[in-house]
Structures are given as structure tokens and as C-alpha cells.
Structure 1
């Protein structure tokens, strides 16, 4: 508190509303000194490594022209990636990863804003900080500035990195970087508004992520119907604005004004709402519970806390499975006679035939994303502990192991559920036999559980490192599995991810050794984490 009050004198008027913003910004950047660089690295690396990857796949202008023609005619692939407007390396980079860069930047931004607004209020820390000389709107301002710093770093790396990687002129890199950062800031201010209406950080993240999902679906639906991004549905979505900026295809600089207008309008709304409510309250407070409790066990409480997350992930995986299954038939059009593209798909999904290899690659992607779910579900215990909601539960006739078991069952069983639903969606979208696809999805679970076990190990033995370490390990596995095959990383690097040891199904040979070992590691990690949880002190 001394750090917040030092050097600040009482102010009046509008400046008083922002008192101590600088100190709060420094605090937020210090707290996120690991999370923000990881996010920036992932988002920017996804973009700047793509030109060289595409140059290796489509080495000649004729090959790039052919892929442009193919993508313009394939509505399924347009829905997945967006329209291909230009056949330069920069233009194909925008087609291949532009929408996903915007998606990742938006996810990064909404998580940052919710973390430094609603999370702080829910934990009670904001009330203590506000007892010092802190302006009413300073916390929100600091949160948005933190998101701005992260997005500015992404924009700068993309703007500088794209020309250096041979993508084309400087203007295209600047346009792509600014559009990516603009999409991030749009959803940063969206999250700022949502945080005013929700009483819990969990709900704020869920609603913000749901709005992000709607934006992506609108973009996909619009691009499926048109080959130039001109659909009304595409223009409604901020993610669609990125492709309509036309980086490397005759830049439309005026589209960047849409990002700026949305950020200013939503930011103003968030500021107006923040000034009209008390700390810790919301405009849509939670309904009071019944006079008598209806939760008879710690497991029932864990289910009550996590059921919304399980439902959201389940619906998302089924919808993603249907979408990915639907574009599987377009895999042949995407690959054509290009040996490099075929090699990448085979490195991801095996060599059992192009269609099965593509399906196996998509199953692997679902597995890597499912790892994010299991880490989130396991780390829910950390959130309950640090917010001191676990203490009243453990003060009753509930032991730590029993309390943890409720969350772990939901985490590991929930991972199995969403993978099954993802496999069902793949089978429905592609028309493939259900059994092999579901079996392939279940084979991903040992790797998913192993990463969940790492999160539990860190939570039990080193709770302060649990959040950063758990997300860092899961993010590294996702990054290796996603860009490793395209960059042709050495097998030793690919083996750092547990997913690199799994058999490539459907189509490949089943190998039980890695499945058994990874399952055993998951059990050992969870057991060690539970031992650590039982012996250590809980947070005060």
C-alpha cells in the first residue's frame, strides 16, 4: 500500500479518478511478467514463422497461384482459415494464420483484463488497494493499459518480423500487426464491459470467451459464403476486420478505424459502468442461494463450480469436430500434388493415407486443446484456495484429499467427455465410421492427463508456480504440436511434448507402450501432488 501512496497527492476532478494508475500498471506488468511474454511469443511466432514455412511448401509463384485458386473455390477451407486474397508469401500468411492470430490476441487480452479487474475484486485485494490513494477508475485503466502493452508488443514483432522473414513490403507487416493488436484491444474492452455485469471472474471469462467464439463463427459463416471477405457476417465480426484490412493485398488502412472506434466506444461504456457501481458488486448480481444447502458432498460442490465450464467446452468441442470433419474432404484440394504439404500432414497425422492422416492430425489438435481444459479444471483448486473459499469447506468434516478428489474427477473425466464429443463431431462432419474416430480421440487422453498431472504436481508442491508452470507446460505442448511439423523441428524437440509419443490414429498402428507410460506418469504426478497438498500449509 505504501508503494501506491508514495508520490501521490490528493487530486480533484477527472484526474482524481485515475490516481495511482501508473503504480497499478507497474504492479500488473510485474505480476504478468511471465504470462504476457509467453502469450506475445505464441501469437507473434505463429505469424512471423509462417512465410518461411509457406515458402518451403509453395516454392514457386506458380504453386502459390494454384493454391490461391484452389482456396477461393473451397468454401470449407475458407470457413476454417478465411479467404485467400493474394498469392504472395505475406498474403498467404494472412490467409493461413491471420484469423487465428486475431483469435489468440483476443484471448490474451480478455484474460489480462479480467485478471486485473474482476479477479482482483473477487479476491478482496482490490478493496485493500482502493483504501489507499487510488482513483475509482484507476484499476480498469491499468488493466486496459496492460492489455495495450501486450498487444503493442505483438504488433511490433509482426511489423518488424514479417519483412525480415521475406513476407514482402513493410506496409503489409505494419497493417497485419496493427490489425492483430486491434482485434486484441476490441476484446479487451469487451471483457472490461462484461466484468461490470458479472459478479465472478469465472463467469466474466466465460462470457467474454463466448462472445469471442461468436465472432469467430460469424467470420467463418461469412467466409464460407464469399471468397473475398465481403459478407455482412464477416464485417460484423472484429476477426473479419483483420482479413478485410487486406494486408499484402492493397492495404485498406481505413479498416483500422473500425478497431479504434470499437475500442473507444466500448472503453467509454466500461468507464461509465465502472463509475456507477461499488467494488465487488455487479449490475447482474448472483441470485441468493436457498435457505438450506443442497450440496451434500465436496464432489457435488466441485461439480456445481465447474459444470458451466464442462458444458461450454463440450459444446465447443462438438461444434469444432463437426467443422473440422467437414473440411477433411477438402484436404485433398489443399494438398494437391504438393509433396511438402503432404509431408507436414503426415508428420502430424501419420502416413496411412491422406484422409486418415488429416483426421489424425485434427484429432491430435483436439487433444492438445483438451489439455488446456484439464489444466484449467485442475487449477480451479488454486483459485478456490487463494480466494479463501476453500477454507470454509475444509473447516468442516471434509479432508483435503476428498476436496481435491472432487475437482480432479471433473478435470480428468471432463477431458474424456469433451474428447468423445469432439470425436463424435468429427465423425458427423466427415461421415467417417464412428468407432475408429472415437478410439483415436480416447488415445489422446493419456497425454492430456499427463499435463493435468503436471498441473496437480505443481499445485500440491509449489502452489506459487502452479498457474504459470501449468499453463506454460500446456502451452509449450500446444506450440510444439502445432508449428513443429511445419518447421520440421528435430524429433528430439517433438518428443518434449507427450503428444509426440502417441500413435497416429485413425489409420496407424496401435502402440500401447506410450499410452501405458503416459497414464502411469499422470497417476504418479497426481499422487505426488496430493501428498504435497496434504502436507503443506494452505494460503492465508
Structure 2
């Protein structure tokens, strides 16, 4: 089983291992060394973080003003990101395999009852250890102490292992992979929220009790480069052992294909909304749309809370000011930062749009699309029912993020009339670039259906170009491949209609070509 899973994940697994570890030294620690060259700048940086509840909630506290501690401070978000990666991996190899019937087929051979779960946990834990090792070497290569680098790598890997155990339990609770994934991610979100509230309440004081209720909080309390408290890792170890034992116990007590949470009976008659393809698409897409909208709105709230007075946080570092101006425009630091921050929201909206468009790929792969299309539903009508959410959903999410961010920015600056429109336009200007990624997904689905998931690779490349291109010396032609690089940097620059029109036309043409291919090709 382990060799089978290694073969299936031979591309995905190394990819997320490297993405969660390799950039830590070259991007995070090295950038801090270059940006904050004097102890006074570092002291001012740390003071601003500890006095900002929004920064504390998002990334946690910074425990001293060394290069290492400041460098890995913002990388604290990786404690949650690795949790997402391990949850998706565990559910994919356990409950999803069981739901499709493939695990039952394997279980009919000389494979033990616990083989799938054991192989999955071994694979995921080995990946987390690899993340920790690569992260340690990456950070240490930036010239900071090895002990602190090792502490961060261990804390990062331990966080991923805990959430792998959480996913193992969730996989036993529901017969649906989607629900099991939702349960595990909900636990991740709750623990992140507990840590965020605890750190925001504590400020620069003693650690709040809520922080100790969160695995992400435990990883932060290891305090790399600020004491290296190795004993905290025992919390990760004990929790993992308990959760894994619970997962095996639950697995032994349930039937193959069943979950401990009983499925509720459906209604005797279907809703009138489900009589057409749009109603079905709404039923499939609404949960994801709501989750992304709420998440991006909360991120907008954080942006609006921290952007006012961002110049004080930057301090005298002209390098930081230059980088922000390069990414977000040249009129003012606050306006440039606002554009840069909402560009991140735009990347999130693009991720949602790709996942919404990929719903068509999933429906076709699982033969559900064929069932719908055998009725009086045309291919374009069926595709359009999903593309309404792929193209319209990001607009809703960006609007919510811009409104919430504008309100919090206006309140913080005591200038609602001036600041609210700036935040809203910084959010909404991201739409053309988002739609280009959506269109590329539709193009792959229509012309190269087997390669449709490559849309995530295109998106990852776009993110890498945006985040690293301006500070890594990439050639201009490479930078021009990123749709976000062509957008007017509102509100730090004047609006320019031509690049917006070009991106919209490009998205429309690519989508039309993809739909034409979908209309003509055979179902897979």
C-alpha cells in the first residue's frame, strides 16, 4: 500500500514538501537580513508587531529581535499551511479511496484492515519530517544559528503530524470524503482561531490560555531563536499518539464504507431548485463559495486594521518602502501596501475560481455529468451553470473583502469617506486577472481534459512570479506572464482602462475556445 501511495503522490508530495520548506531561508530570513539592517530597525519592527492585535492574530508574537526570530515570525503561517496539506493527503488516501470503492477492492486481496490507514500515516509523517529537515537546512543556510533553525523545522513538522492524526480520526467519522475533509479543516480553523484570539489578547504579556489549546500555538511556543523550548514538542507527540489510537479504534469498530456519523435521510421530494442544472450547481458550489467569501472578508478585515500607519512599522528601511512601491504603486506607502495586500486577496479569489471551475472536471470524472447530460440539458448549459460560480463567485468574495476592509480601514483612519473607496477599488481591480486563471482552467477542461488539474500548476507559477519576481531579478518577459502584473495598481496609481480591457477580452476568448472544445469532444 505504501509503495502504491508513493507512486500516486510522486509529483504532488515532493511539490508540497518543497513549497512548505525551501523558501523559508531564501525568502523569509534572507529578506529580513536585507530589509532590517540595524538593531534599531529590528527593535521598531518587533515593537510594532507586539502592539498590533491584527498582526498578532494573523502570525503570532515575535519573541526577540534577532534576525532568526524576525525571519521566521511571518513563516508562522506555515504551521497552518502544513496542516492543510496533511489533511488533504490523509483524506485522499483513506476516506476518498473508500468512498470510490477502490479500497474495498484492495481489501479483498491479502491486505489487512489497517493497511490503508497505516500506509497513509507513514507517508504523511515521513513527508512532515522531510519538510522539517529541508526547512532546517534552508533557514540555517541564511546564516542564522542552527539550533534555532532545527527548532523551527521540528515545530513545523510536528504541527503537520498532529493534523494528519486529526484527519485520520475525521476519516472514520463520515462516509463522505467531502464531509470528513470539512470536519478536519474545521478543527484546523478552530485551533487557528483559538491561537489568534489568545495571542491578540496576550500582546507582549504572558501567553494566553487559549494559545495552549492550539497545535499552531504549541509550535509558536517552541520559540525558535528565542530559547528553543524543546519540551513543548511533547504536546504534539502526546496528542498525535492519542488521536492515532482513537482513529484505529474507530476503524476497527465500523464497517467498510460506513462512517460513525449516520447519514441523515433525504427529503421525500427534491427541491424545485434541483430540477435544473443551475440548482444542482448551486447545491454543489454554495458551501465552498460561502467559506471562501467569509475567509477573504476576514482577511480584508485584517488588511484594513493594519494598513493605517504601516509607515511606522516599516520605519526607516528604504528598501522595504521600495519593494512595496514596486509591487503596489508609487504614490504613498499606505496606498501601495493596500494594493499589495489586496493582490493577495486576488490570489485567493483565483484559487476559489479554479476550484469552482474544476467542479466540472470532478463531475465528469465521477460519471455524474454523463447522467445529467443524458436528459434535456445541453453541454453549454451544463457548463454555464458551473461557470456562473467560477466567474461570479470571485466577484462576490472580492466585494465582501473590499467592503469589510474598507470599513475597518476607514474606522482605523477616522476617514471613512476617503479610505473606504480606496480599499474597495483595490479589491475589485483584481477581477480581470482572476478571470484569466478561470479561463485557463476552462480551456484545459475543454481541449485537454486529462490535464485539467494542471490549472493548479499554472496558478502556482503565477503566484511565484508575483511574489518573487520583483525581488529576484526575473526577466521582464517572465514577469509579463503574470496577469496581476498588468493591472493598474489602485489606489496608488491612476486607473488605466487598456490593460483591464485586454485581460477581460483575453479571458473571454480563452473561455470561448475552451467551451467550443468541450462541446465537440467525447466524454471521458
Please give the TM-score of this superposition, normalised by the length of structure 1: 0.90
Q: Equivalences for 1:450-489 in 2 at 5 Å?
A: 450-467=436-453, 469-485=454-470, 487=472, 489=474
1:389 pairs with one of 368, 373, 377: 368
> 1: distance between equivalents of 2:212 and 2:479?
39
Is 2:57 the counterpart of 1:57?
no
Range moving further from structure 2, 111-120 or 213-222: 213-222
> 1: distance between equivalents of 2:87 and 2:309?
33
1:412 pairs with one of 391, 396, 399: 391
2:151 pairs with one of 175, 183, 188: 175
Deviations 1:294-349 (A, max 9, x none): 21101110110111111111111212211221111241232112111112221221
Range moving further from structure 2, 481-490 or 85-94: 481-490
* Contact kept? 1:222, 1:229, Cα under 8 Å: no
Deviation at 1:440, TM superposition (A): 2.5
Cα distance change of structure 1 residues 490 and 261 upon mapping to structure 2, 3 Å threshold: farther
Deviations 1:175-219 (A, max 9, x none): 111111111111111122222222322233233223222222222
Deviation at 1:64, TM superposition (A): 2.1
Deviations 1:454-500 (A, max 9, x none): 12222222222222x11111122223333444556554443332111
* Contact kept? 2:83, 2:164, Cα under 8 Å: yes
Classify the secondary structure of the residue corresponding to 1:275. helix
**Over aligned residue pairs, what C-alpha RMSD do you find?**
1.9
| Equivalent in the alignment of 2:413 | none
| Equivalent in the alignment of 1:282 | 259
> 1: distance between equivalents of 2:513 and 2:123?
36
Range moving further from structure 2, 475-484 or 180-189: 475-484
Cα distance change of structure 1 residues 485 and 102 upon mapping to structure 2, 3 Å threshold: farther
* Contact kept? 1:75, 1:225, Cα under 8 Å: yes
Cα distance change of structure 1 residues 298 and 176 upon mapping to structure 2, 3 Å threshold: same
| Equivalent in the alignment of 1:68 | 46
| Equivalent in the alignment of 1:498 | 483
Q: Equivalences for 1:112-511 in 2 at 5 Å?
A: 112-166=89-143, 168-226=144-202, 227=204, 230-294=207-271, 295-431=274-410, 432=416, 433-467=419-453, 469-485=454-470, 487=472, 489-511=474-496
Deviations 1:126-171 (A, max 9, x none): 22222222221211222222222321221111111211111x2211
| Equivalent in the alignment of 1:16 | none
Deviation at 1:228, TM superposition (A): 5.8
Q: Would you say how many aligned residue pairs link Structure 1 and Structure 2?
A: 513
Deviation at 1:371, TM superposition (A): 1.0
Cα distance change of structure 1 residues 250 and 198 upon mapping to structure 2, 3 Å threshold: same
Please give the TM-score of this superposition, normalised by the length of structure 2: 0.93
Cα distance change of structure 1 residues 125 and 207 upon mapping to structure 2, 3 Å threshold: same
Deviation at 1:266, TM superposition (A): 1.2
* Contact kept? 1:76, 1:330, Cα under 8 Å: no
* Contact kept? 2:296, 2:348, Cα under 8 Å: no
> 1: distance between equivalents of 2:130 and 2:65?
27
Deviation at 1:122, TM superposition (A): 2.3
Is 2:14 the counterpart of 1:28?
no
> 2: distance between equivalents of 1:287 and 1:142?
31
Range moving further from structure 2, 234-243 or 380-389: 380-389
Is 2:20 the counterpart of 1:43?
yes
Q: Which runs of 5+ in 2 are unaligned?
A: 411-415
